[in-house]
């Protein structure tokens, strides 16, 4: 699957991976996730190098992943440590090895390195201000859409009054003030407001920039696919976009809040989860119909002025696809 290399991609909620192997598709590859006895998560290609069986159908024994077909055992490094048919004294060929992927566990998610291996990896991208004092509830959704369209939908500031007419877009506030957009290699920050069209011109990007100076952006995207909506100072939505394959994107949508009492926090998270799922389904109905699926191929799209965040996303995404992040950063961008 064609997505920018040299990035950490969120791939699973930490809680989804236990000791026993879990098979799933991510970034267009069949992968198996499992944990060694120390609890560390591992990711390997879900294909046994012997005769190609799925290792996710096998089991974890000690610190080894065991193939269900002929019992080959692999360690966390992907090295085959036991080949039952040749016995303990038998020789195992060096090429009987399993391809593994660098993995990190942070912010309740598993992150897979997509790109060339390196000695020192960068930190996983996240919103630093959400690490202390916040709680969150998560909603998961799989959409039959390309990753790029899924992300652009969350940078789209002109659809609220239409797609969400019966929810967050009620009131016919179809006019877009701004948006003011800042975009660089760290991501995209968008300041925007919507109001009813009373015949006066919308505020320009410059006016909105002046009016919102020093305030938090309404929308923030961190590359490659982590998004935050600033609802209120103590209430945010975050989406970790997971590229599954060319036709599927998984959403981990979290509501972040600061209610400490679990008797309030849990029902609040449940209610927000229901509301967020409803709102997301309103988007889904439209986004699944967009053609072409991959926005990188959508040269026929006629973007309008208020699509500035989307056009910036396309520009930066194209740059990231053309050259890895490291060289891009080295170029001082």
In the three-class reduction of DSSP (H, G, I as helix; E, B as strand; rest coil), residue 205 is classed as: helix
- The smaller minimum CB distance to ligand FES, of residues 69 and 127, is found at 69
Q: How many residues bind ligand FES (CB under 6 A)?
A: 8
Q: Is the peptide bond before 292 cis (omega within 30 degrees of 0)?
A: yes
Determine the Cα–Cα distance for residues 199 and 58; give it in Å rounded to an integer.
65
Pick one of 70, 81, 258, 266: the residue that binds ligand FES (CB under 6 A): 70
Work out how close the CB of 67 gets to ligand FES at its nearest, in angstroms, rounded to a whole number: 3
Residue 152 touches Fe ion, criterion: CB under 5 A? no
Residue 53 touches ligand FES, criterion: CB under 6 A? yes
- The smaller minimum CB distance to ligand FES, of residues 83 and 238, is found at 83
Compute φ and ψ for 74, nearest 5 degrees: -120, 140
Work out how close the CB of 43 gets to ligand FES at its nearest, in angstroms, rounded to a whole number: 18
The structure tokens listed for 55 are 């290792």
Nearest to 143 by CA among 311, 284, 42, 272: 284
283 contact choice in Fe ion, ligand FES, none (CB below 5 to 8 Å, kind-dependent): Fe ion
Work out how close the CB of 30 gets to ligand FES at its nearest, in angstroms, rounded to a whole number: 14
Residue 160 touches ligand FES, criterion: CB under 6 A? no
Residue 72 touches ligand FES, criterion: CB under 6 A? yes
Pick one of 48, 145, 150, 244: the residue that binds ligand FES (CB under 6 A): 48
CB burial readout 280-319, b (16+ within 10 A) else e:
bebbbeebeebeebbbeebeebeeeebbbbbbbbbebbee
Candidate ranges 79-87, 203-211, 280-288, 310-318; the one touching Fe ion (CB under 5 A): 280-288
Nearest to 140 by CA among 31, 276, 38, 263: 276
Measured CA angle at 41 (ends 138, 112), to 5 deg: 70
Contact 32, 54 (CB under 8 A): yes
- The smaller minimum CB distance to ligand FES, of residues 29 and 250, is found at 29
Residue 283 touches Fe ion, criterion: CB under 5 A? yes
Give contact residues for Fe ion (rule: CB under 5 A): 283
Give contact residues for ligand FES (rule: CB under 6 A): 48, 50-51, 53, 67, 69-70, 72
């Amino acid at each position: 699957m064609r997505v920018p290399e040299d990035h950490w991609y969120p791939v699973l909620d930490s809680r989804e991976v236990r000791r026993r192997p879990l098979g799933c598709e991510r970034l267009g590859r069949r992968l198996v996730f499992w944990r060694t006895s120390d609890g560390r998560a591992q990711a390997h290609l879900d294909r046994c190098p012997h005769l190609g069986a799925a290792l996710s159908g096998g089991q974890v024994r000690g610190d080894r992943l065991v193939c269900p077909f002929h019992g080959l055992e692999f360690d966390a490094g992907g090295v085959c440590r036991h080949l039952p048919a040749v016995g303990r004294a038998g020789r195992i060929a060096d090429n009987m090895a399993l391809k593994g992927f660098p993995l990190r566990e942070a912010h309740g998610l598993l992150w897979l390195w997509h790109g060339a291996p390196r000695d020192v990896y960068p930190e996983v991208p996240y919103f630093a201000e959400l690490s202390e004092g916040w709680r969150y509830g998560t909603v998961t959704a799989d959409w039959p859409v390309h990753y790029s369209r899924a992300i652009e939908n969350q940078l789209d500031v002109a659809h609220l009054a239409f797609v969400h007419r019966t929810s967050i877009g009620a009131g016919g506030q179809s006019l877009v003030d701004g948006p003011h957009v800042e975009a660089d290699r760290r991501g995209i920050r968008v300041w925007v407001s919507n109001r009813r069209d009373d015949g006066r011109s919308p505020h320009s990007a410059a006016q909105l920039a002046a009016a919102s100076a020093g305030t938090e952006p309404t929308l923030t995207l961190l590359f490659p696919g982590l998004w935050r909506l600033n609802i209120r100072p103590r209430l945010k939505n975050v989406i970790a976009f997971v590229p599954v394959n060319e036709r599927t994107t998984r959403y981990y949508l979290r509501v972040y809040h600061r209610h400490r009492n679990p008797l309030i926090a849990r029902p609040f998270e449940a209610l927000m989860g229901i509301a967020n799922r409803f709102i997301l389904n309103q988007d889904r109905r439209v986004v699944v119909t967009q053609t072409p699926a991959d926005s990188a191929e959508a040269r026929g799209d006629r973007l309008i002025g208020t699509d500035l965040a989307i056009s910036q996303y396309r520009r930066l995404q194209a740059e990231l696809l053309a050259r890895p992040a490291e060289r891009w950063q080295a170029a001082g961008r």
